[in-house]
């Protein structure tokens, strides 16, 4: 089979031939059809995540067909179309797992980080990581919903905002273009914030009632004029624009961060105290959250905007995603 691996941190992507792997008793083998390229694949590419063993095949937005099922795997049958996202398995016995909080498992695994991911013709995964893919979704459309989609949808539905609340989505990119659709379809009074006038038309097409151009307008002032945001979903990859938005939170407003940055966000404690505001993060979700995301997307007509590349052009697809020019998610296909 073909696989695209990274040999060492910072090294190039290499297209290699490997033997098709065999699943263990509690694992499955997925014949990969599509795999989204996520900004977090740079953790594997650059070695920015502790403990990655190389060579490693990236990819944690994987959709394909169950091709072999281990002897101890319950319920799943060969031939089912399944997906695996960022949460690629949990131990079942650490304290978070004992409390049923599997996403925060202290030994949680991620495909493409802890084990080889979806930039390949086949992938092995533990059965706990599998989400069923609805027939109404194509594999290329389902793939980005398993990381970019679940992360924004799951963060918003647990944010405390209810229908009618002012909810802003900061950034219109891989995460933000999905976050906007989820916010609008959830009944929030949705505001989009991005750079430049050009994205305003698209923002409205994706469901935003208002558009704030952060290059010419003061984001905090504009949000305050609208009544102050109950939630600002931060999807951008620079912390300074998060800092600039905090003043636009209303009473009990929450800056909810889903983009994985190392850079610190600067906020004055007084800005939080006056208005009882808060800052929080949200870590994607489990396989059942993925299924909820996929079902909600089918119900409400939400789809990612994608650019499709064949597996052998993974390096080019990755550069396209990293350039920030992709509209908006890059998806690899195996042609299987």
Q: Using CB under 5 A, pick the residue from 63, 105, 143, 330 that binds Zn ion.
A: 105
Is 229 a binder of Zn ion (CB under 5 A)?
no
104 binds Zn ion (CB under 5 A): no
Query: CA 240 → CA 10, 237, 271, 275, distances in Å?
Result: 26, 9, 16, 21
Q: What tokens does 93 get?
A: 């016995």
Q: Does 129 bind Zn ion (CB under 5 A)?
A: no
Of the ranges 142-150, 181-189, 247-255, 319-327, which one interacts with Zn ion (CB under 5 A)?
142-150
Compute the distance between CA of residue 170 and CA of residue 152 in angstroms, rounded to an integer. Answer: 12
Please work out the total of residues on this chain that contact Zn ion, with binding judged by CB under 5 A: 8
Structure tokens belonging to residue 268: 């004055």
Neighbour tally for 225: CB within 10 Å: 12
The smaller minimum CB distance to Zn ion, of residues 94 and 272, is found at: 94
> Which one among 94, 244, 265, 272 touches Zn ion, defined by CB under 5 A?
94
Per rule CB under 5 A, is residue 91 in the interface with Zn ion? yes
Which residue carries 């951008």 as its tokens?
Answer: 236
Closest separation in Å from C-beta 22 to Zn ion = 25
Instruction: Compute the least distance from the CB of residue 320 to Zn ion, in Å.
Output: 16
Q: Which element (helix H / strand E) includes 14?
A: strand 13-17
Q: How far is the CB of 211 from Zn ion (least distance, A)?
A: 26
| CB 155, min distance to Zn ion, A | 13
Q: Mark the segment that binds Zn ion (CB under 5 A) among 83-91, 110-118, 227-235, 245-253.
A: 83-91
- Check binding of 329 to Zn ion (CB under 5 A): no
DSSP output for 43-89:
HHHHT-STT--SSB---SSEEEEEEEE-TT--S--TT-EEEE-S---
Of the pair 290, 334, the CB lying nearest Zn ion is at 290
Alpha-helical runs (H) found in the chain: 41-46, 95-98, 139-144, 150-157, 176-185, 199-205, 219-225, 239-245, 269-273, 287-300, 314-323
Cβ 57 vs Cβ 116: under 8 Å: yes
Residues 10-39 binding Zn ion (CB under 5 A) are 38
- CA 38 to chain CA centroid, nearest Å: 7
Each residue 170-209 as x (binds Zn ion by CB under 5 A) or -, in order, gives: ----------------------------------------
Binding stretches for Zn ion (CB under 5 A) = 38, 40, 90-91, 94, 97, 105, 147
């Amino acid at each position: 089979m073909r696989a695209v691996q990274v040999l060492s941190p910072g090294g190039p992507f290499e297209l290699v031939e490997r033997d098709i792997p065999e699943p263990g008793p509690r694992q499955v083998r997925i014949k990969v059809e599509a795999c989204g390229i996520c900004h977090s694949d740079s953790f594997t590419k650059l070695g920015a995540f502790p403990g990655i063993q190389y060579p490693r095949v990236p990819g944690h937005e994987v959709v394909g067909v169950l091709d072999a099922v281990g002897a101890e795997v319950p319920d799943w049958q060969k031939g089912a179309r399944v997906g695996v996202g960022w949460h690629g398995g949990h131990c079942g016995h650490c304290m978070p797992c004992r409390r049923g909080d599997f996403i925060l498992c202290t030994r949680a695994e991620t495909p493409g980080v802890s084990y080889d991911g979806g930039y390949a013709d086949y992938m092995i995964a533990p059965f706990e990581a599998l989400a069923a893919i609805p027939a109404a979704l194509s594999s290329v459309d389902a793939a980005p919903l398993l990381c970019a989609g679940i992360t924004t949808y799951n963060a918003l539905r647990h944010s405390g905002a209810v229908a009618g609340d002012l909810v802003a989505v900061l950034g219109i990119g891989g995460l933000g273009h999905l976050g906007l659709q989820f916010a609008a379809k959830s009944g929030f009074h949705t505001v989009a914030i991005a750079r430049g006038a050009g994205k305003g038309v698209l923002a409205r097409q994706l469901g935003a009632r208002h558009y704030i151009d952060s290059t010419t307008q003061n984001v905090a002032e504009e949000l305050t004029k609208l009544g102050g945001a109950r939630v600002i979903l931060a999807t951008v990859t620079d912390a300074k624009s998060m800092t600039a938005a905090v003043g636009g939170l209303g009473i009990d407003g929450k800056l909810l961060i889903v983009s994985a940055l190392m850079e610190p966000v600067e906020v004055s404690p007084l800005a939080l105290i006056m208005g009882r505001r808060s800052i929080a993060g949200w870590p994607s979700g489990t396989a059942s959250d993925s299924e909820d995301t996929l079902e909600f997307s089918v119900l409400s007509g939400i789809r990612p905007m994608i650019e499709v590349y064949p597996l052998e052009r993974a390096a080019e697809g990755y550069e396209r995603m990293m350039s920030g020019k992709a509209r908006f998610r890059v998806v690899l296909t195996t042609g299987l």
